[in-house]
């Protein structure tokens, strides 16, 4: 109300009789009722999604996201724009380094510790039981289901949950600021320190993933003269240097024949690579050494550790192989960023004390070229991590231009202790590269032949898929043996494995089929034609909340690759995605993603925000992160509840993103936006 209610005085100087208890109560009730009446008169309803399409004559019937409407449901009209709410005074958020009290800092640190424990408990639900894959596609699941038999405990926890308000504050105003200075244009939170130095593009890297205590609430600046990448496949061999350039990359380019500076561009001559004779010869020579390796057939998903020139991954793309390059955090040349700019899959990671964010037994092969990694040191912990994520019967390929007797002896002893078989050890005459190819055991019988019991076996009840902030354990994981266990059989050859669902999925195979049909209909009828997206300019795509990989499978006909992100609080469906011949990783969207700015051309978020309502303290940081990892000119497709899309649209407009299309039906909505080159 505009002002407080006053009562006039009976007489000047007259003494007032003390009010009785009943009179005081009556007065309090009267004030409360007056406030309610005034509020109902002057308050306005929340605005609906604005920028609605006025006509859908040029758009095929939009397939709604889950929950699917019943067949006899009546089609609701397109929602109209409602009058905006009255301006809210004194509600402005200065979007820069957040100002919090010391007590709030301590509380946040404590909450983060509790959250890590919560994630471990949630990921502990495996895929071998019915609950692990029983994903309700219509409603979605906020967290992994509890262990069976704990219904009473689950009910008690539900009662203790706080009922939170709206995800985004519709009354908030955002005054965006740029982050730091010149060095921030390539800033990777949780990898780079906030102290980027005063020198030109001077940067300091963390040894392990460690996120800032305060969330990033500023916008990463653009490189001077930034331009969108060329369409695929031109961008694979030609990128604009100023988009990714910094002094260390410039010095590196002068020493490599496969990386040429030509005016404003970096060129990657065909046939040139880190390997003599080119990457294609190198890839073919591996097949010749081990005929059981058939690229694009039984070998579909490959992890390339320590991204060098990405030519290995580029050559495998031509053979229908997805090779995910892991650029190590100590690579200050940022070759993983160069790979992403070229349209080749890459992510930033680290081989240290923590597990990589992947499930167990999912990669068909792991490759490491010119490895400076001491696999045999610290009891072989890093190699034991490779043993965890490598598929039983999978291949481990090492190549080097120079041999070290001490390292080779240490590797031989370690390989014997974990029973990896040496399939080939040869120096190629053309590339002059020494290649060693190992194979992980496909059964447990060979372990009985170990002379020593070091490293020891991991506990049988341990969930190997727990990977988010989980430490690398110095133990050896056995091979799944029962037919109902994931990893007991090798998948079908590609592309048959995409639609051939293994026995261990049980009754959930019908849900995968329904998920595929659902996303195929949406993409064919809406995404490809009805949203104004220029798909010739889309190469790097991220599904921010993947379930079974249906979105990625429906895009296979396009010239794109999709990073399927399974949130750590969601059901553990990532092994299913890998089993189908697609790739992805675990991530917590309350934290920044491990990639460079401007890495992706399109972001897809299907009910991501409504699932994070009870997790992230400041959900707006997810929008800030989307702005960081999406390139200017890139698109975002967001499907969610209208109560979330309403304030979300206002936030996107404050970032000067262009609203290309909105649509609402049955309290569900979709919004397609395009990021601009605007910076504050």
Domains and CATH numbers, the chain: 274-449 (3.40.50.150), 496-674 (3.40.50.150)
**Alpha-carbon span 609 to 623, nearest angstrom:** 10
pLDDT tens, residue by residue, 458-472: 998 889 999 999 999
Contact 570, 545 (CB under 8 A): yes
| Confidence bin at 23 (pLDDT 50/70/90) | low
**Alpha-carbon span 495 to 522, nearest angstrom:** 22
Packing angle, helices 620-629 and 642-654, rounded to 10: 50
Contacts 24+ apart (CB under 8 A), 428-431: 428/277, 428/282, 428/285, 430/276, 430/277, 430/281, 430/285, 431/275, 431/276, 431/277, 431/281, 431/282, 431/285
For 39, the enclosing helix (H) or strand (E) is helix 21-42
pLDDT exceeds cutoff 60 at 31: yes
Q: Which two tokens stand for residue 568?
A: 């750590």
pLDDT exceeds cutoff 60 at 60: no
Average pLDDT over residues 218-224: 95
Which of 399-403, 563-567, 625-629, 634-638 is least confident?
399-403
Of the candidates 641, 634, 671, 401, the residue with the CA atom closest to the CA atom of residue 535:
634
Contact 226, 632 (CB under 8 A): yes
**DSSP state for residue 189 in the 8-state scheme:** T
> What percent of the chain has a predicted confidence (pLDDT) above 90?
53
Contact 168, 621 (CB under 8 A): no
| Confidence bin at 150 (pLDDT 50/70/90) | very low
Predicted pLDDT at 612: 83
Contact 333, 176 (CB under 8 A): no
Residues in Cβ contact with 414 at an 8 Å cutoff, skipping those fewer than 6 apart = 375, 376, 380, 383
Q: What is the CA radius of gyration of the chain?
A: 28
**Alpha-carbon span 530 to 524, nearest angstrom:** 9
Contact 435, 399 (CB under 8 A): yes
3-state secondary structure of 281: helix
Of the candidates 358, 361, 387, the residue with the CA atom closest to the CA atom of residue 474:
387
Predicted pLDDT at 161: 52
| Confidence bin at 142 (pLDDT 50/70/90) | very low
pLDDT tens, residue by residue, 336-386: 999 999 999 999 998 889 999 999 999 999 999 877 788 888 889 999 999
Contact 434, 426 (CB under 8 A): yes
**Alpha-carbon span 547 to 570, nearest angstrom:** 9
Q: Which two tokens stand for residue 207?
A: 């040894």
| Confidence bin at 167 (pLDDT 50/70/90) | confident
Contact 564, 583 (CB under 8 A): yes
* Cross-strand pairs, 542: 563, 603
Contact 625, 605 (CB under 8 A): no
Contact 646, 47 (CB under 8 A): yes
Contact 397, 420 (CB under 8 A): no
Average pLDDT, whole number, for the chain? 79
**DSSP state for residue 474 in the 8-state scheme:** S
Residues in Cβ contact with 71 at an 8 Å cutoff, skipping those fewer than 6 apart = none
3-state secondary structure of 644: helix
pLDDT tens, residue by residue, 606-630: 999 988 877 888 899 999 999 999 9
Predicted pLDDT at 189: 92
pLDDT exceeds cutoff 50 at 151: no
**Alpha-carbon span 604 to 674, nearest angstrom:** 12
CA distances from 265 to 198, 229, 260, 539 (A): 27, 11, 8, 19
Question: Which phi and psi (to 5°) does residue 634 adopt?
Answer: -80, 165
Contact 172, 95 (CB under 8 A): no
3-state secondary structure of 140: coil
**Alpha-carbon span 453 to 449, nearest angstrom:** 10
Question: Which phi and psi (to 5°) does residue 392 adopt?
Answer: -55, 125
| Sign, CA torsion 610/616/622/624 | positive
Of the candidates 526, 525, 528, 573, the residue with the CA atom closest to the CA atom of residue 550:
573
pLDDT tens, residue by residue, 290-345: 999 999 999 999 999 987 778 899 999 999 999 999 988 777 678 899 999 999 99
Contact 301, 281 (CB under 8 A): no
Number of helices and strands in the chain (H, E): 17, 19
Comparing 286 with 122, the larger pLDDT belongs to 286
pLDDT exceeds cutoff 50 at 51: no
**Alpha-carbon span 301 to 309, nearest angstrom:** 19
Predicted pLDDT at 46: 38
* Cross-strand pairs, 638: 605, 671
pLDDT tens, residue by residue, 447-497: 988 888 899 999 988 899 999 999 999 999 999 988 888 988 999 999 999
Predicted pLDDT at 589: 96
**Alpha-carbon span 622 to 608, nearest angstrom:** 10
**Alpha-carbon span 162 to 184, nearest angstrom:** 38
Contact 233, 561 (CB under 8 A): no
**DSSP state for residue 228 in the 8-state scheme:** P
**DSSP state for residue 492 in the 8-state scheme:** P
Residue count of the chain: 680
Residues in Cβ contact with 109 at an 8 Å cutoff, skipping those fewer than 6 apart = 213
Of the candidates 527, 596, 629, the residue with the CA atom closest to the CA atom of residue 191:
596
**Alpha-carbon span 125 to 120, nearest angstrom:** 9
Predicted pLDDT at 256: 84
Predicted pLDDT at 194: 67
Average pLDDT over residues 388-397: 97
**Alpha-carbon span 630 to 366, nearest angstrom:** 28
Strand 630-641: give its sheet, edge to edge: 584-587, 561-567, 540-543, 600-606, 630-641, 668-674, 658-665
Comparing 114 with 270, the larger pLDDT belongs to 270
Residue 301 CA neighbour count, 13 Å, CB half: 27
- Quickly count: other Cβ atoms within 10 Å of residue 33's Cβ: 10
pLDDT exceeds cutoff 80 at 240: yes
| Sign, CA torsion 12/13/15/18 | positive
**DSSP state for residue 484 in the 8-state scheme:** T
CA distances from 325 to 79, 380, 494 (A): 44, 22, 20
């Amino acid at each position: 109300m505009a002002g407080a209610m006053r009562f006039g005085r009976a007489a000047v100087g007259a003494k007032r009789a003390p009010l009785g208890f009943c009179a005081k109560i009556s007065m309090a009730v009267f004030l409360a009722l007056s406030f309610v009446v005034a509020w109902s008169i002057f308050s306005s309803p929340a605005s609906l999604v604005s920028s609605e399409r006025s006509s859908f004559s040029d758009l095929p019937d939009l397939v709604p996201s889950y929950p699917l409407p019943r067949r006899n449901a009546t089609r609701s009209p397109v929602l109209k724009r409602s009058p905006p709410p009255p301006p809210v005074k004194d509600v402005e958020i200065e979007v820069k380094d957040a100002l919090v009290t010391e007590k709030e800092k301590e509380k946040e640190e404590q909450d983060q510790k509790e959250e890590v424990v919560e994630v471990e408990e949630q990921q502990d639900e495996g895929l071998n039981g019915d609950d692990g894959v029983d994903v309700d596609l219509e409603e979605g699941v906020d967290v992994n289901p509890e262990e069976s038999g704990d219904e009473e405990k689950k009910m008690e926890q539900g009662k203790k949950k706080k009922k939170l308000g709206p995800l985004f504050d519709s009354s908030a105003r955002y005054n965006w600021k740029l982050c730091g200075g010149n060095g921030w244009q390539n800033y990777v939170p949780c990898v780079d320190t906030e102290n980027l130095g005063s020198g030109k593009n001077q940067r300091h890297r963390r040894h392990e993933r460690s996120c800032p205590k305060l969330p990033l609430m500023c916008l990463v600046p653009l490189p001077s003269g930034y331009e969108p990448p060329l369409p695929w496949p031109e961008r694979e061999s030609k990128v604009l240097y100023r988009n990714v350039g910094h002094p260390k990359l410039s010095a590196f380019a002068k020493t490599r024949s496969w990386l040429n500076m030509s005016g404003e561009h970096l060129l990657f001559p065909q046939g040139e690579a880190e390997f003599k004779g080119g990457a294609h010869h190198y890839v073919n020579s591996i097949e010749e050494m081990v005929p059981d390796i058939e690229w694009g057939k039984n070998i579909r998903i490959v992890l390339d550790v320590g991204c060098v020139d990405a030519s290995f991954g580029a050559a495998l793309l031509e053979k229908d192989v997805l090779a995910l390059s892991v650029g190590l955090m100590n690579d200050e040349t940022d070759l993983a960023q160069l790979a992403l700019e070229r349209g080749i899959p890459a992510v930033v990671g680290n081989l240290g004390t923590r597990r990589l964010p992947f499930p167990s037994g999912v990669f068909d092969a792991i490759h490491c070229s010119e490895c400076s990694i001491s696999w045999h040191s610290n009891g072989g912990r890093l190699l034991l991590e490779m043993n965890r994520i490598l598929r039983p019967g999978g291949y481990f390929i090492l190549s080097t231009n120079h041999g070290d007797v001490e390292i080779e002896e240490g590797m031989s002893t370690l390989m014997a202790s974990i029973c990896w078989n040496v399939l080939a050890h040869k120096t190629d005459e053309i590339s002059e590269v020494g290649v060693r190819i190992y194979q992980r055991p496909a059964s447990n019988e060979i372990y009985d032949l170990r002379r020593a019991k070091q490293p020891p076996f991991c506990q049988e009840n341990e969930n190997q898929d727990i990977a988010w902030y989980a430490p690398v354990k110095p133990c050896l994981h056995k091979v799944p043996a029962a037919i109902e266990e994931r990893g007991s059989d090798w998948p079908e050859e590609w592309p048959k494995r995409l639609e051939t669902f293994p026995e261990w999925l049980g009754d959930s195979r019908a849900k995968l089929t329904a998920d595929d049909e659902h996303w195929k209909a949406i993409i064919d009828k809406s995404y490809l034609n009805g949203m104004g997206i220029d798909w010739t300019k889309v190469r790097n795509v991220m599904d921010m909340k993947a379930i079974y990989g249906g979105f990625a499978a429906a895009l296979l006909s396009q010239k794109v690759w999709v990073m399927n992100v399974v949130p750590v609080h969601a059901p553990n469906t990532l092994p299913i995605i890998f089993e189908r011949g697609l790739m992805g990783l675990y991530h917590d969207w309350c934290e920044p993603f491990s990639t460079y700015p401007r890495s992706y051309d399109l972001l897809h978020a299907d009910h991501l925000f409504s699932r994070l309502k009870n997790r992230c303290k400041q959900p707006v940081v997810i929008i800030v992160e989307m702005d960081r990892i999406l390139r200017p000119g890139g698109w975002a497709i967001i499907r969610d509840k209208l109560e979330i899309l309403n304030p979300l649209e206002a936030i996107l407009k404050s970032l000067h993103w262009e609203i290309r299309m909105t649509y609402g039906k049955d309290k569900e909505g979709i919004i397609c936006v395009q990021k601009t080159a605007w910076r504050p």
